[in-house]
A and B are shown apart, each in its own frame.
Chain A
Amino acid sequence: MSEKGRYDMLSKNIHRDNSIFLGILTLLGIAAFAEFMIGNTGSVFAITILMFVLVGIIAVLRILMTDRRIQTIQNEVPDERTRKIDTYAQSKSWYVTFMLICIFVFLNTFRIIELSVYEVLIILFIAMSWSWIAFKWYYGQKGDIE
């Protein structure tokens, strides 16, 4: 298969992966909606959290692997716009995480709410991975970081 053919096939696979990813997001939305509507459903809440964590991991790995696969197939330097947006989105997600840590320190210092280490880690994990995905999507749609 030619380089072009391989690249086209990969693009189709990425499109399919995106559809799967959107499907997972829809399921996640339904689970979260059920939690709010039914209430007191510990299991639904746990599944929702688990889904958030899993989708976060999958999405971050997929972003990294997709870019790498395209680079390998094209055998060229990575696309500068993608690289620029990725880096900027990563730095923005770092700021989001940092702000959350500041908020947690404030809340804990004044005993407004008390969170366990597990809860803090889960929140930070979700915030960091999802904010990265969100910023990447936002700047990707916008075209540039400025």
Chain B
Amino acid sequence: MRTRIKEYRAKYDLTQEDLANHVGVRRETIVFLEKGKYNPSLKLAHDVAVALNAKIDDIFIFEDEESDIVKEE
């Protein structure tokens, strides 16, 4: 899984700490989310997406989904 959290954080000028406080998790959780090492619950994924003013699909990208998009193109 790949995420675009870092990209969106930069867009809204948010630090990892800000985002963590906003969604009610520890900063480490955001770090692991950004690295794609942690699979969040649907609720956390939704909260992150809402905090970053985006859709869940835009933030979290699964590798098989990515290859499907490439095939379609």
Contact = CB atoms under 8 A, between A and B. Distances in A.
Interface in B13-54: 21, 24-26, 28-29, 32, 35, 37-41, 43-44
A81 B29 contact: yes
Interface stretch (A20-28, A71-79, A94-102): A71-79
B26 A81 contact: yes
Nearest to A81: B29
Interface residues of B, number: 15
Nearest to B25: A79
Contacts of A81: 25-26, 28-29, 32, 38
A72 B29 CA distance: 19
Interface string A120-146: 000000000000000000001011101
B24 A143 contact: no
B35 A143 contact: yes
Contacts of B40: 80
Contacts of A90: none
A80 B25 contact: yes
Contacts of A76: 24
A79 B35 CA distance: 18
Contacts of B21: 4
Given A80-B44, A81-B32, A143 B25 contact: no
Interface of A: 4, 70, 74, 76-77, 79-82, 140, 142-144, 146
16 contacts: A4-B21, A74-B24, A79-B24, A79-B25, A79-B29, A80-B41, A81-B25, A81-B26, A81-B38, A142-B37, A143-B32, A143-B37, A143-B38, A144-B38, A144-B39, A146-B39
Interface of B: 21, 24-26, 28-29, 32, 35, 37-41, 43-44
